Amino acid sequence: MTRDRGLGDREWFGQLVYGRFAIGEAGAANAGLFAVSLLATSDAALAAISQRTPDAVVLDVMIHDLDVVLAFAKSPIREIRAVGLPILSGKVDIANVRMEFESGCVANFTASRVSTERVRKLRFFQPGQYVSLDYGRQDVLVFSVGNDGQPSPNPQITVSKPQITAEEPLRAEIAAFLEAVATRSQPVVSLEDGRRALSVALRAVAAIAEHGSRAKLDQLGTRNTSF
């Protein structure tokens, strides 16, 4: 976009953005995730596994996977059940959330900072197929019932690996936002998407607190607690 010399910095930036806002989610720009989006159906069962070292395990880690799964499911949430425990700190360090949608899709999320390695994976199951995405390696494996793919140890199952052009997620995120600004198109992750993911994350936090109160988890020692 060419800058009009008559515009000040603030006015030019406002013209550049033109009301376009996006949520900073590098995971959504992962090349492997795009490949998975072409495979998913609305009745899939999803499992998102994240392991990092954030300040708040649900609001800083799991929220990104919530956004991705909500985009796949495209259905109102029927029920959320969750459990979480403080192990290394006074906050919840490991959490598991089970989410059921009105469509029948079921999603399970696990986020943890109690790990010796960094892992982020998305897996989903649908009739006749199992798909696994590794965010770190940016690769996808598709296990299908039938003959469409490479043979596996199980003769009824074939394995295929979609061709993916790996790219740095943060660079892809920024490029996608600039493209949305230049073309006045919808960002990959909009403000509404971010608001929805935050709302669901807060519901998960509330479900963890409710379960902890019911199970009297506050009476357990935080340093020696484990599943």
Task: Find the domain containing 112 and state its range.
Answer: 23-213
- How far apart CA 61 and CA 82 sit, in angstroms, is 15
Q: What is the pLDDT of residues 4-48, one digit of tens each?
A: 444 444 443 333 444 444 455 444 445 545 455 544 444 444 455
With respect to residue 65, please indicate whether it lies within any of the assigned structural domains.
yes
Across the chain, mean pLDDT equals 76
Q: What is the pLDDT of residues 135-178, one digit of tens each?
A: 888 889 999 987 666 666 677 888 889 888 888 888 888 888 88
Q: At 133, which CATH number?
A: 3.30.360.10
- How far apart CA 70 and CA 215 sit, in angstroms, is 29
Look at residue 220 in the predicted model and tell me its pLDDT: 65
Give the chain's largest Cα–Cα span: 70
With respect to residue 27, please indicate whether it lies within any of the assigned structural domains.
yes
Residue 60 near residue 191, CB atoms below 8 Å:
no
Q: Is 178 helix (H, G, I), strand (E, B) or coil?
A: helix
With respect to residue 108, please indicate whether it lies within any of the assigned structural domains.
yes
Residue with the larger pLDDT of the pair 202 and 21 = 202
With respect to residue 5, please indicate whether it lies within any of the assigned structural domains.
no
With respect to residue 6, please indicate whether it lies within any of the assigned structural domains.
no
With respect to residue 18, please indicate whether it lies within any of the assigned structural domains.
no
Strands 106-112 and 45-51: parallel
Look at residue 148 in the predicted model and tell me its pLDDT: 65
- How far apart CA 211 and CA 84 sit, in angstroms, is 8
φ/ψ bin of 169: left (φ > 0), alpha (ψ from -120 to 50), beta (otherwise): alpha
φ/ψ bin of 18: left (φ > 0), alpha (ψ from -120 to 50), beta (otherwise): left
With respect to residue 227, please indicate whether it lies within any of the assigned structural domains.
no
Q: What is the pTM (predicted TM-score) of this model?
A: 0.73
Residue with the larger pLDDT of the pair 38 and 134 = 134
Look at residue 32 in the predicted model and tell me its pLDDT: 47
pLDDT band at 50 (very low <50, low <70, confident <90, very high): low
Tell me what the mean pLDDT of segment 199-223 comes to: 85
Look at residue 209 in the predicted model and tell me its pLDDT: 93
- How far apart CA 191 and CA 184 sit, in angstroms, is 15
With respect to residue 155, please indicate whether it lies within any of the assigned structural domains.
yes
What's the number of domains the chain is made of? 1
